[in-house]
A and B are shown apart, each in its own frame.
Chain A
Amino acid sequence: MANQQPNSGNPRVDIEYRRKKSAEEMKHQVITFALMIFLTIVAFVAAGYEGFSGWFIVPFILILAIVQVIFQLYYFMHMSHKGHEAPALFLYSGALVGFITIIAFLTVIWW
């Protein structure tokens, strides 16, 4: 979306437009990065803090991890851009199979 080429017929104008668009996108990337750092710090503090029980911390830091990965995929890996339908299908199929594998190992296997 952000990097679609406009067709004004004037290459110079298009380049300026594109440069501005990508500079804007870069600003979003930096904000994303700051948020990811923040989420990481929250997760480490939550795990290090004695006052919380494991029943709270484990789901909490897992949610933080998932949010952070969504940032990474959609902003850093550009999945929010147009033309990422097939990549999304591939990745989510992989994630689904992976999720089932983890559930299976955690529930079927025991000692």
Chain B
Amino acid sequence: MTTDKQASTWSTAAKEIVSGGAFRAFLSVVLGFVVGAIFMVFSSEAFLQALTYFTARPTDALSAGWTAIADGYSALFRGSIYNYKADDIVAALRPITETLRFAGPLIAAGLGVALGFRVGLFNIGASGQILFGALAATFVSTRVSLPWGVHLVVAAVVAIAAAAAYGALVGFLKARTGAHEVIVTIMLNYVAAGLLTFAFRQDYLLLEANGGGTPKSDPPAVTAQLPTLFGDAYTLHAGFLISLVGVVIYWWLMERSTIGFRFRMVGHNLDAARTAGINVNRTFVYAMAASGAFVGIAAVNQALGATAGLTPDLDGSIGFDAITVALLGSSTGPGVLLAGLLFGAFKAGAPAMQVIGLSPEVTGVIQGFIVLFIAAPPLVRAIFRLPAPQKTTVISDWWAGLRQKGAKK
């Protein structure tokens, strides 16, 4: 009995973590920035130096601390949204396009992981699914020649299908053998990385023509490259639009479609879903395939958005960033979109922060703390067996009051 109760405490905590509210997400972001500011202050040499004579001239330390924060976050702004120091408007607007370019794959992979969360599945394999999708896409984009337009569509569809198949394999193994999806996806990450590196190393497979010793593919054929959205001045390409379409499809799939209803039911209560006549095992396979398909859009972004040859680490850290994006976005379509944009901005802003001498790890620390603050309250409650706080709060009362007023009108 007690173990049952414990198990339910933990599963409640897990559910709360993956479906946190928008307000809590917002507060977590604010807190993350506060922690980031502290990190910046204490990594500032000027501040640490001024600290050694704090009592003699405290203003030095205070102003050095303030300068560190102001410089850091204005660099982040300049690097991710608008570069007010640029000479011309084209350069000034480049940061926001870079943010969108980085956000594209993050949003798509975030949707894939989020879909898993909604079905109660932890898809840790986004990285492997990106690599497998990119492997298929690179084969089409460098080794097959097709006419303009058709080539890109075929390469994109093949990438999404390959990633979906790679995801479905996880669902199949879970449904058939009961293997835990976390372990299976982690192992399949290694398999995909190995396969990709192998293919990029062999000249009869994908190694670049006239290549050297390092594993690297040819750049995708011009006919298979995602077109840039605003000409040659910016690298932002149509991959971002595909990710946006993905958000709409995700929203429709999860909130409006029958299969999405089954997904949510399985995620909500496995036994109830089974009793209600839903084939849970089949739903796992479908859900992992759908999850992989969304991650496949990230593979399209990475493999066909490139204009140079690809290397085996083309997934970067997207596979794992996707987990944080899904958590921050509360596994909803709009939430993942906003979270992806935020993390895209972090990625785009990091070089500008490095240039002013901040360590590139600052944005990583901020991201980590954001997710920590989101995950912490339910976790802490579960660890200390605290009761959930009362549902009505000052803010929710105020909000409910507003809504009532609106309804009366």
* Pair from one complex: no
Q: B residues near A, CB below 8 A? A: none
